[in-house]
Amino acid sequence: MLTVDFDRLGLRPGDRVLDMGAGAGRHSFEMYRRGADVVAFDQDGDELAGVLELFGAMKEAGEVPAGASADIKQGDALALPFADGEFDRIVAAEVLEHIPNDVAAIEELIRVLRPGGSLAVSVPRWLPEVVNWRLSADYHNATGGHIRIYTDHELIDKVTKGGRANDGTPGTAMVFDGKDHTHGLHAPYWWIKCAVGVENDGHPLAKAYHQLLVWEIMKNPLPLRLAGRVLDPLIGKSMVLYFHKAAA
Number of residues that this document lists for the chain:
248
Q: What is the pLDDT of residues 122-147, one digit of tens each?
A: 999 999 999 999 999 999 887 778 99
Are the C-beta atoms of residues 120 and 17 closer than 8 Å to each other?
A: no
Are the C-beta atoms of residues 72 and 52 closer than 8 Å to each other?
A: yes
Q: For residue 82, give Cα distances in angstroms to 39, 67, 110.
A: 11, 21, 12
> H or E segment at 53?
helix 45-60
pLDDT for 164 equals 54
Quote the DSSP letter at residue 211.
H
Across 122-134, b (16+ Cβ under 10 Å) vs e yields bbbbbbbbebbbe
Q: What is the pLDDT of residues 64-105, one digit of tens each?
A: 999 999 999 999 999 999 999 999 999 999 999 999 999 999
First to last CA, the chain: 35
pLDDT over threshold 70, residue 169: no
Q: What's this model's pTM, rounded to 2 decimal places? A: 0.93
pLDDT for 165 equals 45
Residue range 173-195: mean pLDDT, rounded: 96
Domain parsing of the chain, residue ranges = 6-245
Q: What is the pLDDT of residues 194-237, one digit of tens each?
A: 999 999 999 999 999 999 999 999 999 999 999 999 999 999 99
* 3-state SS class at 121: strand
β-pair type (37-42, 16-20): parallel
Domain 6-245, CATH homologous superfamily name and number? Vaccinia Virus protein VP39 (3.40.50.150)
pLDDT over threshold 70, residue 168: no
Q: Taking the alpha carbons of 167, 115, 28, 224 in that order, is the dihedral positive or negative?
A: positive
Number of Cβ within 10 Å of residue 23's Cβ equals 18
Q: HSE (CB half, 13 Å, CA atoms) of 216?
A: 20
Quote the DSSP letter at residue 173.
P
- Local confidence band at 248 (pLDDT 50, 70, 90 cut-offs): low
pLDDT over threshold 50, residue 148: yes
Q: What is the pLDDT of residues 19-48, one digit of tens each?
A: 999 999 999 999 999 999 999 999 999 999
Are the C-beta atoms of residues 159 and 105 closer than 8 Å to each other?
A: no
pLDDT for 145 equals 85
